[in-house]
Structure 1
């Protein structure tokens, strides 16, 4: 029993001395439970919408106020014509446009019926269906309050129009999300163990004494996975078009360029993990637990980011997959050009440069 206690104490001391492992063991579960607890929800809240109110009467203004006052919608913009609707959706800022026709209040009073139109971004069909049901529920509540005590009830007819994905196919949001996850998994996890593997098998010493500069070594490590990722990108796009029947409405060249940019960002992240760790197990654990799971939770692929608390919304901005997911949906589904997604492209490019420079600097430190 004394020998057993000695071994237990030795293991405890070993864990305490290894601050990095201790941090992972204690902090990572807390971070994961917070992320999962707030992200895993089927509700869609704080959805940004625009309003085209051609009536501007008491009934339409009151109904817009009630929709804006709910927890599910935030009216961000008032439109003046139908021509502005498509441009707003292409910016990927709003989820729905609520259209009130002319004489909305007069139609209710004189004919006991009026019409409201929901124009929804259906590139994410689950979110589109959910926010449509929320808006319809608010309008039905308003209608019921108006009909209280009336012999001839008012009727508000709701017309639905789904943009970009009228059939509400799940593949339209599935394909961009899978592209983000596959590229992140292959590039980050596989490159994260490359330099560590050289350390463990003892070939790093040969590389250190070679005349090859650190930048060339890091690039040489990344090139094979870049080529493999290009093959994966092409295969995913071919399957999405010919098997899943998801169209590529935008420029294929732009889509490939953005995909390669995201691949380079993921490679730089993997190389940074590889230079900062001492074992393949640690590098793989950080890649899977520390990066892959937050990518699923905080990229907007599975759960809307606007549902999450403000700290998690801010944290999502440092997840490269979030920006890539926005780019792929915008180019592939909505058919936008570069001038619409230049901000997201700039963010990915800045992340790539920062991670690559940090990887080189970390590698140099280990050369000393």
Structure 2
């Protein structure tokens, strides 16, 4: 439950690999990472009982990082989470953090050589960084409160994290070696789901500082915070368009959670989804023409893709299960996601047109979570 709350606070990470979208789907009782194919069903990249999650593409789209409890020790009841990487075809799975405490929320550096992550290995939730092969581990934060990373600035010059060190959740940045810590938000409320703008000059985030959850944008140094949504009902989960000119977000302003897109000059607001149930987790395609999202409009949470103007919504997954966390590959050709199917939670990948599902993780032990793609020109 703690990690679910932390994931909500730090927000979801997008991804990017050649022409595909990875996603997480529930199948066979667990969550798997799946990848679509041009022909035939999607390929399961991970298979796990029950949990592979938080898939994140490497910048060059060749690998996916995720966290998993697949090293679950049924005798000792040790269900610790570790961070793994796997090739985009499902081969070469590697446990980068084989130690007994929880490790989660991996974020690739823009050059693909390092991974930022969350760990409880020293008795408290802190931010760490390691090389992409798991070596050269460094602890970046030390505080009595929980620190949770939310990623790298686009140029790799800073890392960002949420911290409870001041009593509420605030957003901080620091140099990649942990020095130069700067508090970005200063409010009496909590601040969630921060995301860097594509050029690194701004940070969008969700805050309840005014008594209601709203979407804010501030300069990357914390100056000039602006409430972008100003509504009496919840607005959440901001996601920058690739050109930095628009924000997608989830709003309950019309009675149930729907996805909206606003330009950053406040002059336009478009409702992208319209369904009698919940739509959320918007993720822009790398070219900015489409949005992947999660919807339970057909009762079970499944992955959908819609044009950026709201036209042409298409359902991509059809399981009686839970499919969440869509993440585009860097080249927009694939989607990764996590799925809870038949008691197993694994990482899957499918094509950008919804074809060619691949299950990436496949294990007989418990958990893999939230995949994401790796960067290009990666040196191992």
Q: Same fold (TM over 0.5)?
A: no
Q: Greater strand share, 1 or 2? A: 2
Q: Greater helix share, 1 or 2? A: 1
Measured against the shorter chain, the TM-score band is under 0.3
Greater relative contact order (Cα 8 A, min sep 6): structure 1 or 2?
Answer: 2
Larger Rg: 1
Structure 1 length-normalised TM: 0.23
